[in-house]
Amino acid sequence: MKKMLPWLITILLAITLIVLAAFLLMDKYFGSSSNETKSAAQTIEAPKLSADELVEITSEITDIKTNLADQDYIVLMNFAFQLNDKKSKEEFDKIKEFEIKPIIIKTLADTRPEELKGSKGKDQLSAKLINLINKTLTRGKLTQISITNFVLTPL
């Protein structure tokens, strides 16, 4: 029995380590991937707002027409930007034509048509834009981007 005790302890320790490693790696390999977009964006949870409050903090950019990374495709998009307060919206409105619109056009120029297919592609584009635009804002934060019009067509 004394000769078997070190072997039993070694086997139990090995089994414990294997189970612990499997438990820690389970989230990595079997976890849901639906949170990828949310973790990519610096989202700020907004409380439920009335229609009037929503209009006060929402700004639009319409008729963005540009080529994608694949020069054989053109996209026409409209966006609605929801900011965290009214002062942020005022600042956003002042800079949207000469700072925000070029960011959107550059981002679309680096995007392939396949990346915009489906709601997941549009969510990833929105997340990328939120991160880029929030870096340029000096007051407040952009909380949400909605794509209000989307046309993707080959030339």
The per-residue pLDDT for range 103-136, each reduced to its tens digit, is 999 999 999 999 998 889 999 999 999 999 999 8
Query: How would you write the chain as a 3-class SS string?
Result: CCCCHHHHHHHHHHHHHHHHHHHHHHHHHHCCCCCHHHHHCCCCCCCCCCHHHHHHCEEEEEEEEEECCCCCEEEEEEEEEEECCHHHHHHHHHHHHHHHHHHHHHHHHCCCHHHHCHHHHHHHHHHHHHHHHHHHCCCCCEEEEEEEEEEEEEC
Confidence of residue 6 (pLDDT cuts 50, 70, 90): confident
pLDDT of residue 50: 83
Q: How many residues in the chain?
A: 155
- Residue-wise pLDDT for 33-50, tens only, equals 544 444 444 444 546 778
Residue 97 predicted with pLDDT over 50 = yes
pLDDT of residue 23: 82
Structure tokens that stand for 146 in this block: 């909605």
How many CB atoms lie under 10 A from the CB of residue 116? 20
Cα distance between residue 151 and residue 119, in whole Å: 14
Q: Report the mean per-residue pLDDT for the chain.
A: 85
Structure tokens that stand for 102 in this block: 């070029």
Query: Which of 12-21, 39-48, 67-76 is predicted least confidently?
Result: 39-48
pLDDT of residue 32: 52
Interval 5-32 mean pLDDT: 83
Among 3.30.479.30, 3.10.129.10, 3.40.50.2300, 3.40.50.2000, what is the CATH number of 39-154?
A: 3.30.479.30
pLDDT of residue 45: 54
